[in-house]
Structure 1
Amino acid sequence: MSEAVDWGLALATGVRTASSGPEMSMTEAAAEVAALREAAAAVVEPVAGITALSAPEAPPAVVVDRAEWIRSNAGALRTVLTPLTDGERQVGGFAQPVSSRLAGLQLGLALGWLSGKVLGQYEALPAESDGPQRLLLVAPNIVQAATVMGVDEHDFRLWVCMHEETHRVQFGAHPWLSEYFAGEVAALVRGLDVGPAELAARLASGIRNADSGGVAGWLQSPQMRSRMSGLMALMSLLEGHADWVMDQSEEVVPSAARLRVAFEQRRRGGGLFDAVLRRLLGLDAKLAQYREGAAFTRAVIDQVGLSGFNKVWSGPATLPLAGEINDSTAWVARVRSM
Structure 2
Amino acid sequence: MNLYRSARAVAGASGDSVIDWQSAADGAKAATDPGSLDLEPGEREAYARDVRDARAAVRSVSGADFDVPETIEIQNRHHWIDANVETFERVMGALETHTGAFPGVARTINTGTMTVLLSFLGRNVLGQYDPLLLAETPDDDHALYFVRPNILKAAEALDVDPDRFRRWIAFHEVTHAAEFGAAPWLSTHLENRMQDGIADLSEGSFNKEAFRELDAAMTVVEGYAELLMDHAFDDEYEDLRRKLDARRQGRGPLQKLFRRLLGLGLKERQYERGKNFFEHVVAVRDLETASRVWDHPDNLPTHEELDTPGLWVRRLER
TM-score, normalised via structure 1 length: 0.78
How far residue 287 of structure 1 moved from its aligned partner, in angstroms, is 2.0
- C-alpha change, 1:309 and 1:285, in structure 2 (3 Å) is closer
How far residue 312 of structure 1 moved from its aligned partner, in angstroms, is 0.6
For residue 282 of structure 2, the aligned residue among 292, 301, 308 is 301
Letter in 2 for 1:167: H
CA–CA distance in 1 between the matches of 2:60 and 2:159?
Answer: 29
Letter in 2 for 1:101: T
Letter in 2 for 1:26: D
- In structure 1, the partner of 2:46 is 35
How far residue 42 of structure 1 moved from its aligned partner, in angstroms, is 2.1
- Does the CA contact (< 8 Å) of 2:55 and 2:68 recur in 1? no
- Does the CA contact (< 8 Å) of 2:92 and 2:198 recur in 1? yes
How far residue 255 of structure 1 moved from its aligned partner, in angstroms, is 3.5
SS at match of 1:61: strand
SS at match of 2:145: strand
How far residue 78 of structure 1 moved from its aligned partner, in angstroms, is 0.2
How far residue 84 of structure 1 moved from its aligned partner, in angstroms, is 2.1
- C-alpha change, 1:183 and 1:238, in structure 2 (3 Å) is same
Provide, for residues 90-122 of structure 1, a one-character-per-residue CA deviation record: whole Å limited to 9, x for no partner. 5x346x333223311221122111211111111
Superposed CA RMSD in Å reads 2.7
- Does the CA contact (< 8 Å) of 2:94 and 2:202 recur in 1? no
- Does the CA contact (< 8 Å) of 1:80 and 1:186 recur in 2? yes
- In structure 2, the partner of 1:134 is 143
How far residue 243 of structure 1 moved from its aligned partner, in angstroms, is 1.9
Q: Which moved more, 1:35-44 or 1:162-171?
A: 35-44
Letter in 2 for 1:289: Q
- Does the CA contact (< 8 Å) of 1:126 and 1:132 recur in 2? no
- In structure 2, the partner of 1:265 is 246
How far residue 282 of structure 1 moved from its aligned partner, in angstroms, is 5.9
Instruction: Please list every run of at least 4 consecutive aligned residues from structure 1 whose deviation after the TM superposition is greater than 6 angstroms.
Output: none
- Does the CA contact (< 8 Å) of 1:9 and 1:101 recur in 2? no
The question of 1:84 aligning with 2:98 is answered: no
CA–CA distance in 1 between the matches of 2:156 and 2:232?
Answer: 21
- In structure 2, the partner of 1:115 is 122
For residue 182 of structure 1, the aligned residue among 191, 203, 207 is 191
CA–CA distance in 2 between the matches of 1:319 and 1:172?
Answer: 16
Q: Which moved more, 1:255-264 or 1:278-287?
A: 278-287
Letter in 2 for 1:113: F
SS at match of 1:135: strand
Q: Which moved more, 1:306-315 or 1:47-56?
A: 47-56
- In structure 1, the partner of 2:6 is none
Aligned ranges for residues 39-50 of structure 1 at < 5 Å? Answer: 39-50=50-61
- In structure 1, the partner of 2:11 is none
The question of 1:232 aligning with 2:239 is answered: no
- C-alpha change, 1:304 and 1:184, in structure 2 (3 Å) is same
Aligned ranges for residues 1-338 of structure 1 at < 5 Å? Answer: 2-19=16-33, 21=35, 26-28=38-40, 31-56=42-67, 58-86=69-97, 89-90=98-99, 92-93=100-101, 96-126=103-133, 129-130=136-137, 132-193=141-202, 218-219=205-206, 224-250=207-233, 252=234, 254-266=235-247, 279-280=260-261, 284-285=265-266, 287-337=268-318
- Does the CA contact (< 8 Å) of 1:37 and 1:63 recur in 2? no
CA–CA distance in 1 between the matches of 2:310 and 2:223?
Answer: 17
Provide, for residues 227-260 of structure 1, a one-character-per-residue CA deviation record: whole Å limited to 9, x for no partner. 211110111111121122222345x2x2423323
Q: Which moved more, 1:258-267 or 1:115-124?
A: 258-267
CA–CA distance in 2 between the matches of 1:301 and 1:79?
Answer: 37
**Unaligned ranges ≥5, structure 2:** 1-14, 250-258
**Amino-acid identity (%):** 29
- C-alpha change, 1:289 and 1:114, in structure 2 (3 Å) is same
How far residue 19 of structure 1 moved from its aligned partner, in angstroms, is 4.0
**Unaligned ranges ≥5, structure 1:** 196-217, 269-277
SS at match of 1:55: coil
